[in-house]
Amino acid sequence: MAERPQDLQVIDAFTAALREVDASAAISRDLAAFYAAHGLEGATLTAMVERGASRLKMYRAMVQGRLRRVIREFIPRTAARLGRPRYDADFAAFFAEAGSHSVVLRDVPVELVTWAAPRWRADPEIPDYLVDLARHELVAAEVRNAPGGREPPTGEALALGRPLAFDGTTRLQRYDHAVHRLPQEEDDRSEPAAEASALLVYRDRESYRVRYIELTPRASEVLARLLAGATVVAALQEGAAAAGEALDDDFLVGMTHLFADLSERGVILGAAVG
């Protein structure tokens, strides 16, 4: 194998100092050994060792500190409930093992939660509801910044045999815990009810505010299918069956009211065209 140029090797060693979980301790222990372990040698190694460890550590603190702050801004209550030591440790592990692969800074919190969710679910020290809370905090930014929205009404009346068109910011969120009812305060530690919950989340067409509508089981089953592109009749039939309800007058009246409310809010734009 051809020898790697030292200017590429030094970029990789520097990057390792920023990312690796144990880099800070290794640098403090023996800077030359750290660099040598990452392939530096000869004059490059000598030059880097002569420059010392303090500014290398400063870079690590700046890069990691900035990302930790950004993530905490997006999931403040999740981070607070994790506690500082665990939050910092999880961030460090995420940054070392997975890291960010989006040039968009606001994507980093999503990347962290995607990486952490299976680990938190498997960890008995982490509350069962924490992934739901993180997802609930993230959906606010997702909807606030979602492309689309404010699409014009289709001008087509709702029809049983056709799918519906929705405002482009609409999302259906399902949780195993009622995290949406938790207080907003970061120092609150009350626990949400272990209650399956569904929210329709969208961006208000006038104020740009993120709106949440708590859905009944029947409404969530029907809307999940409509958002996936099902026709109204299929969504009603399959939704009623999934909710364990009869497709009777009560069900249909309830859905009629829901569709009217969502049309009034500009969430349903009419029957889909094409």
Report helix, strand or coil for 250: helix
β-partners of residue 202 are 211
Residue closer to other proteins by CB (options 144, 162) is: 144
Q: Which two tokens stand for residue 137?
A: 């905090």
Residue closer to other proteins by CB (options 40, 130) is: 40
Q: Which two tokens stand for residue 125?
A: 């020290």
CA distances from 6 to 16, 41, 57 (A): 15, 8, 21
Shortest CB 79 distance to other proteins, Å: 18
Which 8-state DSSP code applies to residue 203?
E
Helix or strand (DSSP H, E) at 211: strand 210-214
Residue closer to other proteins by CB (options 107, 176) is: 107
Shortest CB 65 distance to other proteins, Å: 10
Shortest CB 266 distance to other proteins, Å: 15
Shortest CB 265 distance to other proteins, Å: 17
Residue closer to other proteins by CB (options 63, 93) is: 63
Shortest CB 51 distance to other proteins, Å: 6
Candidates 103, 23, 22; CA nearest to 56 is: 23
Question: Which amino acid, 181?
Answer: R
Residue closer to other proteins by CB (options 53, 117) is: 53
Which 8-state DSSP code applies to residue 143?
H
For other proteins, the binding residues (CB under 8 A) are 5-8, 10-12, 14-15, 18-19, 43-44, 46-48, 51, 54-56, 58-59, 62-63, 66-67, 98-105, 108, 144-149, 168-169, 203, 208
